[in-house]
């Protein structure tokens, strides 16, 4: 009994701590100390923040080269937020599997950073439950960027399919991808090109695609 009480107190303590940390992060503006890439930053106090609802092409790492438009996305993100103060807005899920804070990021003048990256074609919209608050806006901005051929959409290397989309996850796959093959028949949708899939609000499976292509 004492062990159970002790465990309960421990769990309540950590839940309360996380809530207080989240409330503290959302209540004020924070200085951006570092920009990792096009969708991840580090605050002055050391908190790593991952932007919700978008994905930017990867920059170069030790084990792999940069993806197409990865360096440009990082540079644009840096121009927007580096050494500036930002406000964080949360959705239902506040942390990802890597312990990064998930947030919508706003500058002091109200600029919505996540949206600016999509608008300029430096990132693409990604559907991921349960954080879907700004999904309609982000998808609309992506379509506008695609139509204007902004950023990564200029000379976009459109691949011909068919490709298998999953209506539940909003991901699209190569037809040979085992994750795609596991999609329930009721959730399947076929896209003729990668451009069609992005336009519909689907993002590429990381297992069978390398980023946004």
Q: CATH no. for residue 146?
A: 2.40.50.90
Confidence at residue 11, expressed as pLDDT on a 0 to 100 scale: 47
Residue 70 DSSP symbol:
H
Residue 85 buriedness (CB in 10 A; 0-12 / 13-18 / 19+): middle
Spell out the SS3 assignment of 108-160: CCCCEHHHHHHHCCCCEECCCCCCCCCHHHHHHHHHHHHHHCCHHHCCCCCCE
Confidence at residue 213, expressed as pLDDT on a 0 to 100 scale: 43
Check 100, 128, 170, 171 and give the catalytic one: 100
3-class DSSP assignment, residue 188: strand
Domain assignment present for residue 213? The answer is no
If asked whether residues 82 and 172 sit together in one domain, one would say no
Tokens matching residue 97 = 């599997």
171 is catalytic: no
Confidence at residue 21, expressed as pLDDT on a 0 to 100 scale: 53
Confidence at residue 24, expressed as pLDDT on a 0 to 100 scale: 54
Tokens matching residue 194 = 């990668």
Which mean pLDDT values do the consecutive 10-residue runs of the chain (213 residues) have?
A: 52 48 66 97 97 94 84 97 98 96 98 98 98 98 98 94 97 96 96 98 90 44
3-class DSSP assignment, residue 55: strand
Confidence at residue 211, expressed as pLDDT on a 0 to 100 scale: 46
Residue span of the structural domain in which 107 resides: 2-152
**What are the respective helix, strand and coil percentages of the chain, to the nearest 5?**
35, 25, 40
Single pTM value for the model:
0.84
100 is catalytic: yes
If asked whether residues 55 and 108 sit together in one domain, one would say yes
Mean pLDDT of the chain: 89
Confidence at residue 66, expressed as pLDDT on a 0 to 100 scale: 80
50 is catalytic: yes
If asked whether residues 53 and 95 sit together in one domain, one would say yes
CA–CA gap between residue 128 and residue 133 (Å, rounded): 10
């Amino acid at each position: 009994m004492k062990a159970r009480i002790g465990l309960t107190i421990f769990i309540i303590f950590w839940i309360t701590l996380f809530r207080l940390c989240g409330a503290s992060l959302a209540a004020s503006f924070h200085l951006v100390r570092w920009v990792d890439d096009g969708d991840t930053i580090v605050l002055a106090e050391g908190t790593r923040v991952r932007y919700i609802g978008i994905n930017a092409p990867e920059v170069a790492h030790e084990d792999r080269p940069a993806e197409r438009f990865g360096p440009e996305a990082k540079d644009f993100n840096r121009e927007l937020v580096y050494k500036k103060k930002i406000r964080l807005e949360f959705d239902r899920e506040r942390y990802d599997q890597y312990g990064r804070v998930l947030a919508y990021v706003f500058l002091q003048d109200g600029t919505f950073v996540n949206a600016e990256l999509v608008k300029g074609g430096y990132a693409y919209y990604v559907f991921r439950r349960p954080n879907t608050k700004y999904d309609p806006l982000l998808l609309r901005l992506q379509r506008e960027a695609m139509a204007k051929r902004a950023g990564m959409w200029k000379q976009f290397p459109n691949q011909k399919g068919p490709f298998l989309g999953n209506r539940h996850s909003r991901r699209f796959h190569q037809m040979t991808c085992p994750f795609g093959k596991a999609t329930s028949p009721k959730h399947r949708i076929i896209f003729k090109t990668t451009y069609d899939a992005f336009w519909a609000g689907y993002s590429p499976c990381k297992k069978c695609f390398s980023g946004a292509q």
